Amino acid sequence: MNMEQITLEVLKGYALHHDGTHGISHWRRVRENGLFLAESTGADTEVVELFSVFHDCRRRNEGRDPGHGARGAQLAVEMRGEWFQMDDEPFEHLLMACRAHTAGLTEAHPTVQTCWDADRLDLGRVGVIPRADRLCTRPAKDPDTIKWALARSQEGWDRH
């Protein structure tokens, strides 16, 4: 699986600014958050990496866009086989993670929970401090993790 090539391909159809709120620096931090959490949660790291790129990649705006998770999942369906291979079970987790990532759920397979937490830990970029009771996994709820993610999510604020 070549994440760089997958990311470039996905970006071709990204409708918003690449450096916007839901753009590639968010995808990069979600990936980093997820891989960190996966060390403790045992999440499938390929699912986590693909989630980071697919979950917001078919947004049509930076605000309320209820269908975007499902559209990102659909793109993953279209690219599977040609751009990456994945067994059915982890792929179902990827689809679930993308489709439901804005539903506010906390109960799911640990791989799905890890994806959602990776995304929620980056809320500081829009001025929202991640809340432990809205996170799913033990390592994400750790105050040190929230602090670490919050600092990274707000990097560069002084430049805007």
Write out the residues near Fe ion by the rule CB under 5 A: 56, 119
CA 27/CA 24 separation, integer angstroms? 5
44 versus 56: smaller Cβ distance to Fe ion: 56
The least CB distance from residue 59 to Fe ion, in Å, is 9
**Cβ closer to Fe ion: 46 or 56?**
56
Cβ at position 143, least distance to Fe ion in Å: 22
d(C-alpha 18, C-alpha 29), whole Å: 14
Residue nearer to Fe ion on the CB measure, 30 or 86:
30
Dihedrals phi, psi of 109, to nearest 5 degrees = -60, 145
Query: Which CB atom, from 51 or from 91, has the smaller least distance to Fe ion?
Result: 51
Per-position DSSP letters for 36-92, written without gaps between them? HHHHHH---HHHHHHHHHHTTTT-SSSS--TTHHHHHHHHHHHHBTTTB---HHHHH
Task: Work out how close the CB of 87 gets to Fe ion at its nearest, in angstroms, rounded to a whole number.
Answer: 25
First to last CA, the chain: 35
Least gap, CB of 2 to Fe ion (angstroms): 22
The total number of residues shown for the chain amounts to: 160
Of residues 89 and 155, the one with the C-beta less far from Fe ion: 155
Q: Of 96, 126, 98, 123, whose CA–CA distance to 108 is shortest?
A: 96
CB of 56 to Fe ion, least distance (A): 4
